[in-house]
Amino acid sequence: MTEKRIACIGAGYVGGPTMAVIAMKCPQYKVTVADISEARIAAWQTDDLPIYEPGLLEVVQAGRGRNLFFSTDIPGAIREADIVFVSVNTPTKTFGDGAGKAADLQYWERVAREILRVSTSPKIVVEKSTLPVKTAHIMETILNANNNGVKFEVISNPEFLAEGTAIQDLLDPDRVLIGSRETPSGLKARQEIVDIYANWVPRERILTSNVWSAELSKLAANAFLAQRISSINSISALCERTEANVKEVARAIGMDARIGPRFLNASVGFGGSCFKKDILNLVYICESYGLQEVARYWQAVLDINEYQEKRFVRAMIRGMFNTIVGKRIALFGFAFKADTSDTRESPAIYVARDLLEEQAHVVVTDPKALENARKDLAGYAENLEFVEDPYEAARGAHAVAIMTEWDVYRSLDWERIYRSMEKPAFLFDGRDIVDYKHVYDLGFNVYPLGSPAMKHF
């Protein structure tokens, strides 16, 4: 018997995996994921899923056709559901007031109006997308602008999954956060959502809070995570000048239990669809409440990230005798992190563009993200190649630059790569994954991230 009917609007990186896990863990519910994109929905119905995520296919296959359905019929999915999750995208606004900072809520509002238009029975509307704090209030206002007696409760249930580990994060989350109004009907709706997760998440990891705390916690969590990366990246710049080694520093500080060892990998910069967007959003909200000092504090996290990308490219140009015109440079990795095909805000995009502006010849290789890389670099037809095999990509290159920490790049035959390259050969490691001493001994001029360059001249 179907106990609950759940709809999710938005079949993206968040909506798709989250609903697939709910369907797998709760066979007693019917879960329908709806999206305006016909191509996306069609792909969810095949084994060639629209996103790459380890373990996702098995989870989808377990539920698909049984209690997990994919559809473009958004009104139909809403109408029959008791609970509607909304995980449509909320990109940074590109126009008008707040352009470049505020969240663009047009898709969200459109979905809210659609829910209002088609609903004939009461529903719980769940914010899954990351939204500015106080958005639930706007949603309530829109949803309660009806006069047909249908009641809606708005719940904030932000998603903390990281790409590449989405399934693991969903199956075994550090915590699930569910925020609601603290009215009798709000608390009842909160309990309904708690009941979903209680099917597989230990009760003590399901946190409840007021709706504004839940909304803000998501922005704050992403801001804190990004801040750690900017902190270690800022230290990496100092390490390169002082013969300190950022890995050793990260290890030493991370063993302090108060700091903790995770998320201290220096890199060419953080990417992904969330960190930049959410911090910009936080900055915008702070500014709009007149909290200029707080806004500036978080803005600095983004400034360091941009500095880190620029610094990486500058080191390449300087290292290669102040000109890279016509030089073949192989970018190893284009995804914003390992184990995903996603390239949104990937530092590789910015590095590739900067190198192309310098008139280098850029060769991009990546195990999963070449299709997205092609789209990101559309418009740069000249001096640009996409090659699947990293050994082929490096052949005849002056330099290899590691952009993504894919496991395959940790165990490459660097001797073979070195032999096929132009000399002097350069290796710029934007992810700090190569055994520097080994590759230096092979003949490479090595630019590790977070420790001084090792040159043969």
> Which span sits near ligand UDX by CB under 6 A: 86-94, 199-207, 364-372, 386-394?
86-94
When asked if residue 397 is in the footprint of ligand UDX (CB under 6 A), the reply is: no
Which residue has tokens 């995208």? 89
In 3D space, the residue among 279, 278, 285, 284 whose CA is nearest the CA of residue 298 turns out to be 279
When asked if residue 227 is in the footprint of ligand UDX (CB under 6 A), the reply is: no
Contacts of 256 (CB under 8 A, 6+ apart): none
Query: What is the distance between the alpha carbons of residues 132 and 66, in angstroms, rounded to a whole number?
Result: 36
Site string for ligand UDX, 110-149 (x = CB under 6 A): xx-----------------xx-------------------
Cross-strand partners of 5: 30
When asked if residue 264 is in the footprint of ligand UDX (CB under 6 A), the reply is: yes
Site string for ligand UDX, 290-329 (x = CB under 6 A): ----------------------------------------
Pick the binder of ligand UDX from 200, 212, 263, 297 (CB under 6 A): 263
Query: What is the distance between the alpha carbons of residues 78 and 85, in angstroms, rounded to a whole number?
Result: 10
Per DSSP (E only), the strands in 211-260 are none
Site for ligand UDX in 42-81 (CB under 6 A): none
Residue 55 or 424 having the CB closest to ligand UDX: 55
Least distance from C-beta 44 to ligand UDX, angstroms? Answer: 10
Residue 264 or 313 having the CB closest to ligand UDX: 264
Instruction: Note if 8 is an active site residue.
Output: no
Query: What is the distance between the alpha carbons of residues 74 and 390, in angstroms, rounded to a whole number?
Result: 42
User: Are 397 and 329 within 8 A, CB to CB?
Assistant: yes
Residue 9 or 68 having the CB closest to ligand UDX: 9
When asked if residue 180 is in the footprint of ligand UDX (CB under 6 A), the reply is: no
Sign, CA dihedral 243-249-251-255, equals positive
Torsion of CA 346, 281, 233, 168, to 10 degrees: -60
User: Are 310 and 326 within 8 A, CB to CB?
Assistant: no
Residues near ligand UDX, by CB under 6 A? 9-15, 35-37, 40, 87-90, 107, 110-111, 129-130, 159-163, 222, 225, 229, 263-265, 267, 270-275, 336-337
Residues taking part in catalysis: 274
